[in-house]
Chains A and B, each alone.
Chain A
Amino acid sequence: MGILRFIIRRLIFMVFLILGVTIMIFFMINAIGDPIDILMAERPGITQEVIDNIKSYYHLDRSLTEQYTLWLWNVVQLDFGTSIIYNQPVGSMLVNWGWETVKIQVPSILISLLLAILFASIASTRQYTKTDFGVMGTALLGRSMPGFFTGILLILIFSYWLGIFPSYGAYSTRSPLMGSLLLDSLWHMTLPVMMLAYFNTATLTLLIRSSMVDVLRQDFIIAARASGLPNRRVVYGHALKNAIIPALTYLAILFGLMLGTAPVTETVFTWPGLGFLYITAIQQLDYPVIMGITLIITLMLVLANLFTDIAYVFIDPRIRLE
């Protein structure tokens, strides 16, 4: 009951947020320029009449308010328009390119979470030992190294020197690895996933370690030990579950911001995902694509937030939604 009302309230808020963000982006694109003008500037032979025809086809001759309303009306009916550059329906492009992004982002986040829990538990139970400093040092390095630098380093080591992983693309252009599409796909995913996972693991490890250190000092942990529970149960059963709560927010941000970190990774590895598409669309003011991806980014952030708030209620009994 309480939780349902909470969700509904958040969903209503989400609608307003999406309206706000899309209106802003829409007017910003138009303030920069007109996609047809940019396209046609490269083809001097085309008459004004042809240009006008194309513009009217994309409704670019209407007023801005009309254009936005039209876009919104279509989106409500799940029609995201047609890409000006690719001349394909944006809806199916979002799905196809989006899948490639999900393919490297979701595994990297899940791998990061598992590794971070492992490293944080090891480090926090051996506070101020060489192991702890080793884990923290590696994590601090991972956090402070710019993503593209990690990516280029991985390419240098694993593609250029060792030659065991491909440095670009999601699939082999000729024959797939060992004749298997799945293996080929995994093979291409390895380096981009490693690049993303290093940063995510580093951040999550530092976060969980510091909250583990706090939790392990608490009276209820000493009390659990004093009750005779073995170390393994105290650390993983009692401490970790408390320590992971602060990390939940960050985990949700990682999921929500998937498309925020995608452009860098996908540019470094020429990966055919939404991040890559977003960058090219912005360069060419392909506004239906920009608007579609913006909509998804906003949606994902809001939904991730909502999901965290609900997850908190189930994990931490002290939290009540009001």
Chain B
Amino acid sequence: MAHHNQQSQALLDVSGLKIHFFTGAGVVQAIDGVEFGLESGETLGLVGESGSGKTISSLALLKLVPRPGKILGGHIRFENDDLIDKSEAEMIRIRGKRIAMIFQNPAFSLNPIYTIGQQLGEIMMWHEKINRGEANDRVTEMLNLVGITDPASRLKQFPHELSGGMKQRVCIARALLCKPLLVLADEPTTNLDVTIQAQILELLSDLKTRFNMAMILVTHDLGVVANMADRITVMYAGRICETATAERIFNNPQHPYTRALLSTIPRVDKSYTNIQSKRLTVVPGRIPNLIHPPTGCRFHPRCVEANGECSRTQPELKTVEEGHVVSCLKR
């Protein structure tokens, strides 16, 4: 995949990623030739409805695809190395240190039986080879940065003593402990109260600038990435539909799926809460069963523009304009 901003250097370049789940019911072709990438300091919005493969793609970057899933092919070039070739011993030096992840559900992503200080300190001590005292200082400092009041006393608290928003702040602090180059934020606000969602997004935006990190912001809601992403990749049923700058995605969307997604975003005159309460029903239908995915274009059964050709030929990603790629036979 080509990057066109000549000033900055490609930090991540994923190409031909293919992940299958070998289940009792059959082989789930969850990710099929996905490609995306981003440059240092950039924010990429990874958008698609639930089940399109956003979480699995993110976990693949850390080589943490859960069983029975397997990465069958592709390249994950990160800082000029291909992570696909890295051993587990090399990966544990990258996870949390150079690429970190923030999860969808803060209520479940902290270990219930360890204090905040214990679990964040452990990561710090492991990566930075420092002692408990130094680790506590660094953790306290980071908790302060993510907007947690009285951080020193929070070290001794257990996750269940914190509110949902606080937990997500702790999770953000955990991801940023070692100042990674790339943060994967997997629907970081989906499970939070509406009032807190905006705060968390703002916090992420601030910290990203402060640490000069790149970020992949995963969401099923284009509204969330509207103000934050430099570029947006739209995916559907394990394939890429379209990648372009955020501005072009909103003003000149090419893929029928992107257009359908955009039509679900309420206008500014409607209240913000509507975005959250409305379940994403793009067009009639749902993500297909990926054990027997649709032939040709995976979106064709739900596409308003589809014809016979779409059910036979798999569209390739083609460049419609510099920095704007689309996989649709009609473009």
Contacts and interface: CB of A to CB of B under 8 A. Distances in A.
Contact of A222 (B68, B92, B96, B103): B103
A226 B95 contact: yes
Given A222-B103, A223-B171, A228 B93 contact: yes
B: contact size bracket: 35 or more
A229 B95 CA distance: 8
A228 B109 contact: no
A241 interface: yes
17 contacts: A220-B108, A220-B111, A223-B101, A223-B103, A223-B171, A226-B59, A226-B64, A226-B100, A226-B103, A227-B95, A227-B100, A227-B174, A228-B127, A233-B122, A238-B114, A316-B113, A318-B158
A317 B158 CA distance: 7
Nearest to B180: A228
B101 A226 contact: yes
A162 B253 CA distance: 80
A318 B112 contact: yes
Contacts of A218: 108
Contact of A317 (B67, B96, B104, B112): B112
B23 to A, nearest CB: 11
A226 B93 CA distance: 11
A288 B110 CA distance: 55
A59 interface: no
Interface string B85-128: 00010001111110011011100111111110001001100110
Contacts of A49: none
B296 to A, nearest CB: 34
- Sorted nearest first, the 8 A-B pairs with minimum C-beta distance are A228-B96, A227-B96, A228-B95, A219-B108, A219-B109, A226-B101, A317-B158, A223-B109
B94 A219 contact: no
Nearest to B112: A318
A236 to B, nearest CB: 13
Interface in B52-94: 59, 62, 64, 66-68, 88, 92-94
A315 interface: yes
B108 A228 contact: no
Contact of A223 (B88, B93, B110, B126): B110
Contacts of A310: none
A222 B123 contact: no
A229 B92 contact: yes
A222 B93 CA distance: 16
Count chain B CB atoms within 10 A of each CB in A127, A219, A233, A315 and give the residue with the most. Answer: A219
B92 A230 contact: yes
Count chain A CB atoms within 10 A of each CB in B59, B68, B96 and give the residue with the most. Answer: B96
A219 B112 contact: no
Interface string A270-289: 00000000000000000000
A224 interface: yes
B330 interface: no
A264 B93 CA distance: 54
Contact of A241 (B108, B113, B122): B113
B248 interface: no
Contacts of B103: 219, 222-223, 226
